[in-house]
Structure 1
């Protein structure tokens, strides 16, 4: 008997109760995290265990993921760097430098709006937009 992993189902489960922001910014990822931590009181840290590895054209690409766990909550924030060495984690959003995934608990509209406003106020941030699941063609690339 052969068992087949249903990737679409796995991906759908991963994205249940999530919100995703796309961010265009002219700052390095470590500087951006520092500013987020400073302005929001977060503690984004690089999590090498969930780094995304993609293989394209016989080359390996590594996309770092920063993580912040909300105390006394199931909510986690993940900040992906969208490009590495000329490749994109989500090619459909090449103009986005960072992808911010909120996962594990419900994030209400008001909290999300306040977060977007704070991110927009960071020096070097040019754009912040919420990305809906329907617009994301390569959702599986964000699953760790």
Structure 2
């Protein structure tokens, strides 16, 4: 007979570790609209970030739902996928430990070389409105599970 008190639980630690395998994450301070920022990225860096409503992040806080936009770009020459998260929605933060950051840029599914990352950071810093770009290491992120879609 099955135990009536048996409950399934998800190990979010293992899920987060697997999700963040072979990733690089940039934090960006750029107090501009997300669609304007993506337009500038797409034009300057010759990429094609598009909003993906299927992977939008929804968090429930203070008895209401908050929705964080996620833009996606798949590198056509390889397996590297780029995700740009909006860190702020209606006064709430996706990653509250980084309230000073407006966007989070996750590079996933392939190894990202240090040179490529440096070039990306330099290009981001040249965009009008960008005030700060920094790499975020996994150890600095307290709420990693918020980035998992």
> The TM-score by the shorter chain falls in which range?
over 0.9
Task: Say yes or no: does 1:40 pair with 2:40.
Answer: no
SS of the equivalent of 1:36 reads helix
Q: Structure 2: where are the runs of 5+ without partners?
A: none
Q: Structure 1: where are the runs of 5+ without partners?
A: none
Deviates more, 1:72-81 or 1:118-127: 72-81
In structure 2, the residue matched to 1:21 is 26
Count of residues in Structure 1 that have an aligned counterpart in Structure 2:
144
TM-score of the superposed pair, with normalisation by structure 1: 0.97
Query: Which whole-Å deviations, capped at 9, do the CAs of 1:71-127 have from their partners, x for residues lacking one?
Result: 131110000000000000000000000000000000100000000000000000000
- Runs of at least 4 residues off by over 6 Å: none
* C-alpha separation in 1, matches of 2:129 and 2:10: 42
Q: CA deviation at 1:4?
A: 3.1
For residues 1-144 of structure 1, the aligned pairs below 5 Å read 2=6, 3-144=8-149
The structure with the larger Rg is 2
* C-alpha separation in 2, matches of 1:113 and 1:56: 36
